[in-house]
Structure 1
Amino acid sequence: MPPRARLAAVAALLFGAGAAALLALRAGGHDPVALTDPSDPARVAEGAPLYARHCAECHGAGLEGRAGWDTAPAPAPPHDATGHTWHHGDRMLFDYVKRGGAAVVADLGIAGFESGMPGFAGTLTDAEIGAVLAYIKSKWPPRLAAYQREVTAAEAD
């Protein structure tokens, strides 16, 4: 399978991971949607330095990601409008950051896709993960932010 087709297939599977992530997170008593609100200036302000400290080295200070992110194996993708982060709902994004890409991909039974995304459960609290996501989401254009809210709403169904 060509690298772009494999990435598209993985993205589609990750999109469907929202239900599993939702169940796991609700079982833990956390609803990431409440933690990732980009319209809350305090959450965004808290997330900016956390992103700079824990994420920018790989994903870029301007959320631009690394060159070649859309090839396999994929380096860190952008979190801006040029990437695919906004294609995923809050619950999946939260789970991916908290547990790491390898754990999420393994849960989905995807073979042959390696993720370099570490889990931050031992480094960031749930509130801090939510703040980082709020910061990232605050940088998206309104059209993409609206789409991402729809994806998040669909996760809950």
Structure 2
Amino acid sequence: MKRKATVLFGAAVAGLAAIAALAQQQGGEAHMDGVTFLGEPVTADELALGQDLYAANCASCHGADLEGQPDWKRRLDSGRMPAPPHDETGHTWHHADRQLFTITKLGVGGVVPGYESDMPAFEGVLTDAEIRAVLAFIKSTWPDRQRAFQADVTANDEGGS
């Protein structure tokens, strides 16, 4: 009898876990654990869209594996900086979501007026939702340590760029 009760209890726990997982879904899209943008959970569909958009719009400079251009810390002959990596070896994760969004939408000059960069502005190319998806995809590739650091930076960002 004790074994039967244990089996029934295990089945009940599994059932509750399944119900909890379903309850975490919003609009039929499961949220990806630990990936947020401006504090809001990111869905699996957003990450898939972001991955596709990254490949189409960003990988040619920042690398298919987010590795950046070679010698990305050394200025080019033009005086501009190469495209940095967006993986954990770069500095993208040091910036708040709002700043990353502004840089992507308006170019680096949107955050540092007058700064000359080869980074194009994606305003008019990508929608705000698409920019969010790309940035969420990039964030999803970071190890927990970098993601947690960046979440703190975002939480402490007071709305400035």
TM-score (norm 2): 0.69
Deviation of 1:64 after TM superposition, in Å, equals 0.3
- Of all paired residues, the percent bearing the same amino acid is 53
What corresponds to 2:16 in structure 1? none
Query: What is the CA–CA distance in structure 2 between the aligned matches of 1:87 and 1:78, rounded to whole Å?
Result: 12
Q: Does 1:155 align with 2:157?
A: yes
Structure 1 residues 89-132: Cα deviation after superposition (integer angstroms, max 9, x where no partner): 000000000001133221xxx6xx52211110110000000000
Larger helix percent:
1
Preserved contact between residue 102 and residue 116 of structure 1 (Cα < 8 Å)? no
Structure 1 runs of 4+ with >4 Å offset: none
Deviates more, 1:86-95 or 1:66-75: 66-75
Q: 1 or 2, which has the higher strand percentage? A: 2
Contact 2:68–2:85 (CA under 8 A) maintained in structure 1: yes
Q: CA RMSD in A?
A: 1.7
Name which of 70, 81, 91 aligns with 1:67.
70
Q: What residue ranges of structure 2 are gaps of 5+ in the alignment?
A: 1-36
Question: How does the TM-score come out when normalised to structure 1?
Answer: 0.71
Q: Deviations over 1:48-78 (max 9, x none)?
A: 1000000000000000000111123310000
Select the structure with the greater relative contact order (CA < 8 A; seq sep ≥ 6): 1
Secondary structure class of the residue paired with 1:105: coil
Letter in 1 for 2:38: V
Which residues of structure 1 form unaligned runs of 5+?
Answer: 1-31
Is residue 2:91 matched to residue 1:89? Answer: no
1:47 and 2:83 are equivalent in the alignment: no
Instruction: Report what 2:142 is aligned to.
Output: 140
Report which of the two structures shows the higher radius of gyration computed on alpha carbons: 2
Counterpart check, 1:80 vs 2:83: no
- In structure 2, relative to structure 1, the CA distance for the partners of 1:97 and 1:78 (3 Å cut) is same
**What is the DSSP-based 3-state SS (H/G/I as helix, E as strand, rest coil) of the residue aligned with 2:54?**
helix
Whole-Å separation in 2 of the counterparts to 1:122 and 1:140: 28
Is the 1:68–1:74 contact (alpha carbons within 8 Å) kept by the matching residues of 2? no
Letter of the structure 2 residue corresponding to residue 132 of structure 1: V
- Partners of 1:44 and 1:101 in 2: how far apart? 24
Partner of 1:58: 61
